[in-house]
Structure 1
Amino acid sequence: MKNVAVILSGGTGARFGGTLPKQFTKLAGKAVIEYAVDAFEKATRIDEIIIVSQPNHIDLTWEIIKKNKWKKVTKVFTGGAERFDSTNSALKGLEGYENDCNILFHDAVRPLVNEIIINDCLDALQKFDAVDVVIPSADTLVEVYDDECIANIPNRSIMRRGQTPQAFKLGTIKMAYQKAILEKRFTFTCDCGVVRSMIPGIRVATVKGSEANMKVTNPIDLFIAEKLLQEANQIAFSIEDDLNFLKNKNIVIFGGSSGIGLEIKNAALLLGANVEIASRKFNNVDITKHDTINQYLEKINSKYGKIDYIINTAGLLIKKPIDAISMEEMHSMIGINYTGAVNVAIAAKPYLVKSSGMLLNFTSSSYTRGRPLYALYSSSKAAIVNFTQALADEWSVENIHVNCINPERTATPMRMANFGLEPNELLLDPKDVAMTSLKVLGSKKTGMIVDVRKDGR
């Protein structure tokens, strides 16, 4: 039995603002719609994907399809002004498909749907002709009159919030839409509503959704979705992980003479990679000076013929009140922690274009909130996160991957110099950060901020 996903991307994003609809807005380096389609492309039980798009964004949709090399996407249909019109357009395009095939309609602006939800929908379709994805409501729901006064407060325990996908036997959803059109009823807000109203005898089953399966409706939703992506990107290394892809790869590490950088070097060498270290201490490479980076990378490229990965672990922390920092210390911290990262990225680009490689940056858990006594350090690390995401977007068309590691407090010489001896149980082992970093190098994703935590997540 065929399983077809229909991605509804016909919205205009009027509430979102901007020049493009919200489904094309960038989220951690990719368009929101890319995450949604990716989920169904990777779902093993989905056979085919159809996208419904606004007429003036058909070409952009095809560009995204080609860039991602999705194999399951077969058609892009023209959507309408309302959701009803877009679903109806898809149904018209599905003429000739068997009535008992399974159709899953999903909002393009729900980027974090997962395969568990998709499979639960398909399982439920073995018993029911219509399925909705729902989650409990944490808030009390209030029904109001036209004048905004309360008409009713339903029992929250039996109320649910609807999500997508909504899944149907094709024959069922086609019949419901045919009846709705015949009766000129077009004001439905979801496809399950069409089925329940037009075919009252049909039971609509529900399966459990996820709070992460949120709908990007307002600009703040992008921020929330980004944080949820970060949670999903906790890629802790385990001994079962296969890192053999690193054999004979050429890696350059800036700031690799100690701490996390040195641990990355040691682990990568054991895995058969060629590793070169660049630092002021080791070979007089100063990342605050663009020329020294260029000269070094040119030398390494000549030695190996290409550079696959460039990792920047260089950092400087001086723990002092802001008004006690000298001008020299201020320039050093900004120069190494931010300007240096920019210099490395600019110099790295031509080599990573050639190898379709990855630039891996490092931030700090302090980036989420400015820390007293190291305001310049924490603010520069926040800038690195933003910089990583911007580059991931900017360089994606050239097949360069740009990601960032965000370790919790780690037992490094730099930390000891500023905080003294601390209990080991409170600190990450730099070897664990190194192994997670190497694992990320094998990822095909870009724009990730990968959290590395003491609890192993």
Structure 2
Amino acid sequence: MKNIGVILAGGSGTRFGSEKPKQFLRVAGRKILEHTLDTFQNSHIIDEIAIVTHKGHVDEVKESITVNSFNKVKKILLGGSTRNESSLAAINAYWSNEDADKINLIFHDAVRPFVSNKILKDIKSNLEKYNAIDVAIASTDTIIEVEDDKIVNIPDRSNLMNGQTPQAFKLKTIKEAYDIGLQDPNFKATDDCGVIKKYLPKEPIFVVQGDPTNIKITHELDLFISDKIFQIRHKQYFNQPSLEEIKGKVLVVFGGNDGIGGAAADLAEKIGAHVFRFSRSLTGTDITYPEKVKQALEHAYNECGRIDYVVNSAAILNKQPLDLMDYETINESLNVNIKGAIIVAKESYPYLSKSHGQLINYTSSSYTRGRAFYSVYSSTKTAIVNLTQALAEEWELNKVRVNCINPERTKTPMRTKNFGMEEEDTLLKAEKVAEVTLKTLLSKSSGQLIYVKKI
């Protein structure tokens, strides 16, 4: 059987309240549609992909396919005004295939970017026994039936589940159900399993266990939740590369004398990368001066003929109440932590665009919530996250990736200077952050905020 992933991307986004349909909004550095397609593209379960979209968004879909090299996408189909019309577009497109009796259609919402390969594997294995598959999770909330704003029934929750997608069918089965349904003058369906249930009532629909994180991005709040899910699930993206792949690569590290930058440089050198370290104390390289950064990058490029990666770990932390900080200290923090990061990014871009390389920045757990005595530092680390996400989008077409590492409290000279001696078993080791840094460099992701935790 040939498994066709049908990505339903025809939604208008009216409930979301955005001018642009939500499948084309960005989260974690990519369009939501691109995250969804990436899972189907990289799954060995899926043989081919078809995208059903609105006629006004075909060019944007084509751009995503081209930029991401989604070579499994074989069809871009025009959907209708309803969900079932979009499904029918795919059904009819593949029914004309001479091998229609050997095709499975796996329908999935474009705005469910967290579908797992495990779900796809479970769908495939059960399609060997059943003609129709749904995906669902147990309901955690009490469901009430309401009429005229009054409860008329409270069903037993133990028998209730929340439906998700994908929904999968043997093509001939879903085609038969729709053929019957279209003869019904009152035909209406919110999903494809509903069509099977109503018009082929004797056809069993097997339920595959879904995943609580396989959320559908419907409302604005879902966008914020999805960003956090990407952060929690970052390990599946970054644990795959072998660190040996960095051997022979050219890596420039600003802030490479000690701390996290020094540890990343040490680890890369040990594996066999060509590493160039720059810092104020080591080479007199002050990243607040464009000429200094330019000279450093030119030196590395002239030595090796290319630059694959740039890591900027240079930062200043002055733990002090704002009203007690003098303007010289404030300006130094702003200049190094944000202006310096901008300068490093701007000067690195010409080299990274040639190599299709990557820039790594670092933020802090304090970026999510300002804390007393961290006002300036926290502000700059919030700016770093926004800078990373903006540049990932700006530089996408030239295949330059930009990611941001967010480590928990880490034992570094900068931390010791501000906090004194602390119990080491409560702190991350810089070497662990260095390892995640190199794995991120070797990944294909961009715009990601990667958390590094002690446990």
Q: TM-score, normalised by structure 2?
A: 0.97
Aligned counterparts, 1:112-131, within 5 A? 112-131=114-133
1-structure distance, mates of 2:160, 2:236: 35
Residue 80 of structure 2 aligns with an amino acid whose one-letter code is G
Q: What secondary structure, in the 3-state scheme, does the structure 2 residue paired with 1:182 have?
A: coil
Q: Which amino acid in structure 2 is aligned with residue 292 of structure 1?
A: K
CA contact (8 A) 1:28 1:393 kept: no
Q: Is contact 2:241–2:443 with CA below 8 Å preserved after alignment?
A: no
Distance across 2 between alignment mates of 1:241 and 1:300:
25
1:364 maps onto 2:355 in alignment: no
Aligned ranges 1:314-329 → 2 under 5 Å: 314-329=314-329
Secondary structure (helix, strand or coil) at the match of 1:213 reads: coil
1:422-450 alpha-carbon deviations (Å, 9 max, x no partner) = 11110011111111111111111111111
Contact 1:135–1:211 under 8 Å retained in 2: yes
**1:108 and 2:110 equivalent?**
yes
Q: How far is the alpha carbon of 1:100 from its aligned partner?
A: 4.5
Structure 2 residue runs of 5 or longer lacking an equivalent are: none
Residue 53 of structure 2 corresponds to residue 48 of structure 1: no
Output the CA distance in 2 between the equivalents of 1:453 and 1:6: 37
Letter paired with 1:13: G
Give the match's secondary structure for 1:277.
strand
Q: Identify if the C-alpha distance between structure 1 residues 235 and 276 changes in structure 2 by more than 3 Å, giving closer, same or farther.
A: farther
Q: Please say if residues 49 and 75 of structure 2, whose CA atoms lie closer than 8 Å, have aligned partners that are also in contact.
A: yes
The answer to whether the aligner puts 1:208 opposite 2:209 as a matched pair is: yes
> In 2 relative to 1, CA 363–234 (structure 1 residues): closer, same or farther, beyond 3 Å?
farther
Identify the residue that residue 144 of structure 1 maps to in structure 2.
146
Match of residue 279 from structure 1? 279
- The SS at the match of 1:99 is helix
Structure-2 residue corresponding to 1:75? 75
Counterpart Cα distance in 2 of 1:292 and 1:8: 50
SS in 2 for 1:57: helix
Quote the Cα distance in structure 2 between the aligned partners of 1:25 and 1:182.
Answer: 38
Q: CA deviation at 1:300?
A: 2.1
Instruction: For residue 293 of structure 1, give the secondary structure of its aligned residue in structure 2.
Output: helix
How far apart, CA to CA, are the structure 1 residues paired with 2:15 and 2:241? 44
Question: Partner of 2:318: helix, strand, or coil?
Answer: coil
Q: Does the Cα contact within 8 Å between 2:410 and 2:427 map onto a contact in 1?
A: yes
* Cα offset, 1:236, TM superposition: 10
For each residue in 1:392-449, what CA deviation from the matched residue of structure 2 results, as whole angstroms up to 9, or x when unmatched?
A: 1111111001111111111101101111111111001111111111111111111111
> Match for residue 403 of structure 1?
403
Contact conserved, 1:235 with 1:440, CA < 8 A, in 2?
A: no
1:203-226 CA-partner distances (Å, limit 9, x unpaired)? 111111111110011122111111
Inter-partner Cα distance in structure 1 for 2:367 and 2:186? 51
The aligned counterpart of 2:352 is 352
* Alignment partners' CA distance in 1, 2:46 and 2:221: 31
Give the aligned residue type for 2:291. Answer: D
Measure the CA separation in 2 of the matches of 1:234 and 1:330: 36
On the 8 A contact 2:238/2:440 being kept in 1, the answer is no
CA distance in 1, matches of 2:101, 2:182: 19
Distance 2:91 2:236 in 1: 40
Corresponding residue number in structure 2 for 1:182: 183
Give deviations 1:29-54, integer Å, cap 9, x for gaps. Answer: 11100111111111112111111010
Distance 1:191 1:310 in 2: 48
CA contact (8 A) 1:2 1:47 kept: yes
**Correspondence for 2:223:** 222
State the SS of the aligned residue for 1:161.
strand
- TM-score by length of structure 1 reads 0.96
Find the aligned partners of 2:120 and 2:452 in 1 and give their Cα distance. 29
Q: Residue 14 of structure 2: SS of its match in structure 1? A: coil
Q: Which residue of 2 aligns with 1:159?
A: 160
CA-to-aligned-CA distance 1:42-70 (integer Å, 9 cap, x gap): 11121111110101111211121111111
Shift of 1:298: 2.0
Q: How far apart, in 2, do the equivalents of 1:123 and 1:407 lie?
A: 40
Match of 2:170 in 1: 169
Given that 2:13 and 2:22 are in contact with CA atoms closer than 8 Å, whether structure 1 keeps it comes out as yes
2:437 alignment partner AA: S
Other-structure match for 1:23: 23
Q: Give RMSD over aligned pairs.
A: 1.5
- Matched with 1:341 is 341
Task: Give the SS at the match of 2:135.
Answer: strand
Return the offset for 1:23.
0.5
Moved more, 396-405 or 59-68: 59-68
Note the residue ranges of structure 1 that are not aligned, 5 or more in a row: none
SS at match of 1:104: strand
Equivalent runs, 1:239-388 vs 2, <5 Å: 242-388=242-388
Amino acid at match of 1:143: E
| Contact kept? 1:235, 1:450, Cα under 8 Å | no
Contact 2:238/2:443 (<8 A) preserved: no
Deviates more, 1:13-22 or 1:131-140: 13-22
